[in-house]
Amino acid sequence: MDRRTFIAGGTIAGIGITALSTMAILSKDTNDTPDYFFELDEITIDELQVKMKSGELTSHAITKKYLKRIEELDKKGPKINAVIELNPDALAIADKMDNERKAGKIRSALHGIPVLIKDNIDTGDKMKTTAGSMALIDNMASKDAFIVEKLREAGAVLLGKTNLSEFANFRSTNSTSGWSSRGGLTKNPYALNRNTSGSSSGSGAAVAANLCAVAIGTETDGSIIAPSSFCGIVGMKPTVGWLSRSGIIPISASQDTAGPMARTVKDAALLLQVLIGTDANDQATLTDKTGAETNFTKYLNVHALQGKRIGIETSVLKGKVEVVNLYNKAKEVFTKLGATIIETDLLGATAELGEFEWNMLQFEFKDGLNKYLANSSCKLKSLAEIIEFNKKNESTIMPYFKQEILELSQLKGSLDEKEYKETLVKLATTRQIISDLMAKENLDAICSISIGLANCTDLVNGDYNTGFYFGSPAAMAGFPHITVPMGKVHKLPVGLSFMAGAWNDAELLGFAYAYEQTTKNREIPEFIASI
């Protein structure tokens, strides 16, 4: 959850973010820039499958290469610090997948593919699940989260867990995204002094830096979209209800969802496809999806935008001119691909709802976390106990920012309270506002700048507003939202967002794919010391 500014005007602009070696601090503009070339740089899932099918590589060999890459780049070299824990069983899983392949069994497109997951997702193995908090350091899940079960069923290799903004950026109103008391600070691979956003900071940085094939993040409001944009990758928040939240440390039962983070739209679609499923323990997944397309790769067509009507968010046109110029170029691409452009102002239409979202999140966080902790192996069994633990260990857990959001949430009552129920009713209007706007203009999707350029990391003052943010409408409505690289300004990536109504995920992936394949904006990071 990317808590970019809970603060300004009572609205939310995103929820859901060591000394360097001599080599790493050299500027990219010098002739002495270190070369962090990796033989699997930018490789796709399809390309890895081809190499395994031909016998050129095995899953064991691929997994070993990524483990070495993490050791050299994440823990040494520029020290991205994206991975919070490695899976000691990763190579054993890879060996099993190799043996199955030899026997003629291929489980899915993810068979033998190394995947990293965010450290708020339960794994019933030797790894912890802590949400980046030292308060949960003893939390060993007894079983896999539902989506991890699906991942294992698909034959993926669980490589490890990624760092995140502590408690998915729902701890302090003055936090620095990408920092956790357990994992420390994750750095942006494009410029090490720049922020990764959050809360899926480690997943975004890991994918960008080629530390894995693909990764899983989670989002409440912006926590997949914002770090994906900052880190120059594809990130998708699917419709709430496609993916189970069982076994994921919660913030909001209304808005939480996991989602894929990848270097290409197709890889995101392939990962999303294996994670969907109906879970009796998550009511949202039981929603009627009659007519909804489950074959997400079917819609990946370079002509997907032909004849479509795309709403263009106009409120962002007043922002930083270099970013707006990229946005205007994107509109030209839409027209070239046969789409009709219609001006919209969704952010303006939904602006007043931010304060209701903020109120709802506090209620649901307290309720959801208390329920999760009650059934966990963690010694701390409530939000109240975590608050007290943090106070007793303030020097290590709260050296830069405190826990205002935890304390505010603790003051909330139960979900039976009138205040909570009235807030839900008010927030439900978000879906109606979006649906009415799209119906009025007969829109197939709405497009915008995802978020502004990566801010400088500042542990003293915390995050600051970067001028753009488009995450909240889709988050509050539970609708799908995808970001894809739109280009770079001052060597920093910026993403282009597409959002649509519920269960239109497949079509949305198609729009993003058409734009991606036409523009090819994704660029490998350069690990510049400072911008």
Read off the pLDDT of residues 98-127 as tens digits, 9 standing for 90 and up: 999 999 999 999 999 999 999 999 999 999
Three-state SS string across 2-13, please? Answer: CCCCCCHHHCCC
- CATH for 41-284+292-517, options being 3.30.2320.80, 3.90.1300.10, 3.40.640.10, 3.40.50.150: 3.90.1300.10
Q: What is the pTM of this model?
A: 0.95
| pLDDT higher than 80, residue 2 | no
Cβ-Cβ contacts under 8 Å for 300 (sequence gap 6 or more): 265, 266, 269, 509, 510, 513
Q: Per-residue pLDDT tens for 476-511? A: 999 999 999 999 999 999 999 999 999 999 999 999
In the prediction, which pLDDT does 63 show? 98
Strand order in the sheet with 481-489: 83-86, 157-162, 114-118, 214-219, 257-262, 234-237, 481-489, 492-499, 445-449, 309-313, 340-344
In the prediction, which pLDDT does 342 show? 98
**CA 277 – CA 284 distance, rounded (Å):** 11
Query: By C-alpha distance, which of 151, 180, 176, 153 is closest to 164?
Result: 180
CB neighbours (10 Å) of residue 349?
16
- Averaged pLDDT for residues 179-205: 98
CA 351, chain centre distance (Å):
23
Percent of the chain at pLDDT exceeding 70: 94
Q: Per-residue pLDDT tens for 5-30? A: 433 333 343 343 322 232 232 333 43
In the prediction, which pLDDT does 22 show? 26
**CA 165 – CA 16 distance, rounded (Å):** 10
Q: Per-residue pLDDT tens for 361-406? A: 999 999 999 999 999 999 999 999 999 999 999 999 999 999 999 9
| pLDDT higher than 60, residue 340 | yes
φ and ψ of 47, to 5 deg? -65, -35
> What's the DSSP call for residue 371?
H
Give strand ranges (E) for 82-241. 83-86, 114-118, 157-162, 179-180, 184-185, 214-219, 234-237
In the prediction, which pLDDT does 29 show? 40
Question: Would you call 85 helix, strand, or coil by DSSP?
Answer: strand
**CA 83 – CA 80 distance, rounded (Å):** 8
Q: Per-residue pLDDT tens for 54-90? A: 999 999 999 999 999 999 999 999 999 999 999 999 9
Split at pLDDT 50, 70, 90, the class of 33 is low
- Averaged pLDDT for residues 33-50: 92
Residue labelled with tokens 């060993």? 140
Q: State the catalytic residues.
A: 118, 199, 223
Omega of the bond prior to 450 within 30 degrees of 0, cis? no
In the prediction, which pLDDT does 28 show? 37
Cβ-Cβ contacts under 8 Å for 290 (sequence gap 6 or more): none
Give me Rg for the CA atoms of the chain: 21
In the prediction, which pLDDT does 437 show? 98
In the prediction, which pLDDT does 35 show? 79
Q: What is the mean pLDDT of the chain?
A: 94
> What's the DSSP call for residue 490?
T
> What's the DSSP call for residue 262?
E
Percent of the chain at pLDDT exceeding 90: 93
